[in-house]
Amino acid sequence: MTLKPLADRVVVKLVEVEETTKSGIILATSAKEKPQIAEIIAVGPGGMVDGKEVKMYVKPGDKVITSKYSGTEVKLDKEEYNIVRQSDILAIVED
């Protein structure tokens, strides 16, 4: 089964980021805030959304930063994804 987003929506998968405090303690996932860095899995076609033309600027494989607590969480084949609007993406992370 695959997810195919519609309009200006984007399917993202949150990226696990290991976080270490200044003293060298590795924080468990439950002790951290919700991660904001995600990898784009699929992108909708864009087009007319709410009477305005929307061009999609992201593509599958991009790493992005999303707004905290944005989108809809979806579980498919034991994997967790978020479906967000492109406008909820704050930046593309470049290496």
Whether 77 is in a domain gets the answer yes
66 Rama class: left (phi>0) / alpha (psi -120 to 50) / beta:
beta
pLDDT in tens, 13-28: 998 766 666 677 766 5
Q: Which pLDDT does position 33 carry in this prediction?
A: 60
Whether 4 is in a domain gets the answer no
pTM, to two decimals: 0.80
The two tokens of residue 67 are: 């707004």
Instruction: Determine the Cα–Cα distance for residues 36 and 31; give it in Å rounded to an integer.
Output: 15
Whether 37 is in a domain gets the answer yes
In the chain, the number of structural domains is 1
Whether 1 is in a domain gets the answer no
What mean pLDDT comes out for the span 21-44?
A: 74
* Domain harbouring 81, CATH code: 2.30.33.40
What mean pLDDT comes out for the span 72-91?
A: 95
Q: Which residues, in sequence order, are bridge partners of residue 81?
A: 74
Whether 2 is in a domain gets the answer no
Q: Which domain holds residue 62?
A: 9-93
Whether 51 is in a domain gets the answer yes
